[in-house]
Homo-oligomer: A and B are copies of this chain.
Amino acid sequence: MTALPTLLTGVVPPVCTPLTPDNEVDVASLERLVDHLVGAGVDALFVLGSSSEAAYLPDGHRRTVVSTVVRHAGGQLPVLAGAIDMTTLRVLDHVRDAADAGADGVVVTAPFYTRTHPAEIARHYRLVAERGGLPVFAYDLPVSVHTKLDADLVLDLAADGTLAGLKDSSGDDGGLRRVILGAPPAFSVLTGSELTVDSALAMGAHGVVPGLGNVDPDGYVRLYRAARAGDRDGARAEQERLCALFGMTETGSPARMGRSSSSLGAFKAALHLRGVIAHPTTAVPQIPLSPEDVERVGKHLATAGLL
C-alpha cells in the first residue's frame, strides 16, 4: 500500500481485466498489463471500473484483481479500486475486500437498480466514507447508474470531507467544470472522458482515467505532460491522435452486440495484438468481436504506429 497523495493527479488508467477463455482472471496477463502501464509512466492505477469489466466479475475475481495489482505494483504507485454495487451495505463489503487487499482508495457510484433520491445518495456516501476506512472517490457514470451526480451534491460532500475526489465519466464537461471551480484544494477531479482530456486539464482537472489508456498509455502520458508543461498545441495534437485511435471501439456492429462488448472487446483485442495479454476474451454474456472486427482493430493500431 502506497500512501495516497493529498491530491491525486496524472494518468490513472482503469486497468482492463485479462481473462482466460473460460472466464477466470488471467493473473500473468494482468501482471504484464500492469507492467505495460507502469512502464509508460502512469501515476496511479484504477482497478474494477467499467473498463475492468467490474460489472461482470464475481467477488472472487474482484479480490484476485485487487490483490494481484497491489502485490505487483502497490509499492510503486497508488491503486484505487472500484466498489461497484447497488447500495451501501453491499458496497461496504467490497470496500472491506479492497482494504484487505491493500487498495489505497475506493471509487463508488450512487445507488443504482433501486429508485433513489439526493438525500439517499448523500447518506450513502457518508456511510461508505465513515464505515469503509478508505478515501472515497465518487464515480459519476449516468449511462450505467441512470442518475447524474449533481454538482452541488458533489461539492457539499467534498466540502465536508466525505469525498476525496470525483471520477467523472458523465461526458458533461459543463458539470465537470462546476465541480472544478467549486471544490476545495485537496479534492481530486479526474475525467474519464477519453476524447476531451486536453480540455479537462485546461479547465483545471487534476487527472485522467482513460479506458483507451490500456492500449496506448504512452499517448496519454505524453498528453498529460504536454498539458502540464503548458504546451497546449502539443496536448491537442496528441489528443486528436488518440481520438482517431478511439475509433476502434466502434468496430463491433450495434446490430450484433452491445456497446460494452464492442468497446471492451476492442481494447482487449488491441492488447492481445500488441502482445500484452494472452487472450482477448471478454466476460460472458458479452458477444465476442468477429475476426473481421479484430482485423479492423489491428488497422487502427497500425495507423497509430502501435503494432
In the complex the two chains form, is B257's CB within 8 Å of A87's CB? Answer: no
In the complex the two chains form, is A286's CB within 8 Å of B256's CB? Answer: no
Among A92, A115, A123, A178, the most chain B Cβ lie within 10 Å of the Cβ of A115
In the complex the two chains form, is B287's CB within 8 Å of A120's CB? Answer: yes
Instruction: Give residues of chain A (13-66) contacting chain B, Cβ–Cβ below 8 Å.
Output: 23, 50, 55-59, 61
A86 to B254, CA, bound (A): 21
In the complex the two chains form, is B55's CB within 8 Å of A114's CB? Answer: yes
**Copies of this chain, how many?**
4
* A202 with B144, Cβ < 8 A, contacts A173-B171, A243-B178 known: no
Partner of A284, one of B123, B173, B283, B286: B123
Q: Which residue of B lies closest to A86 (CB)?
A: B55
In the complex the two chains form, is A193's CB within 8 Å of B181's CB? Answer: no
Q: Does A258 make an interface contact (CB < 8 A)?
A: yes
Could you mark each residue 96-128 of chain A with 1 if its beta carbon is under 8 Å from any beta carbon of chain B, else 0?
A: 000000000000000111111101110110010
* A117 with B58, Cβ < 8 A, contacts A232-B232, A285-B123 known: no
In the complex the two chains form, is B258's CB within 8 Å of A116's CB? Answer: yes
Instruction: Give residues of chain A (153-181) contacting chain B, Cβ–Cβ below 8 Å.
Output: 171-175, 177-178, 181
Q: Does A1 make an interface contact (CB < 8 A)?
A: no
In the complex the two chains form, is B146's CB within 8 Å of A181's CB? Answer: no
In the complex the two chains form, is A193's CB within 8 Å of B171's CB? Answer: no
Interface residues of A (CB under 8 A from B): 23, 50, 55-59, 61, 84, 86-90, 92-93, 111-117, 119-121, 123-124, 127, 143-146, 171-175, 177-178, 181, 193-196, 198-199, 202-203, 232, 236, 240, 243-244, 254-261, 283-287
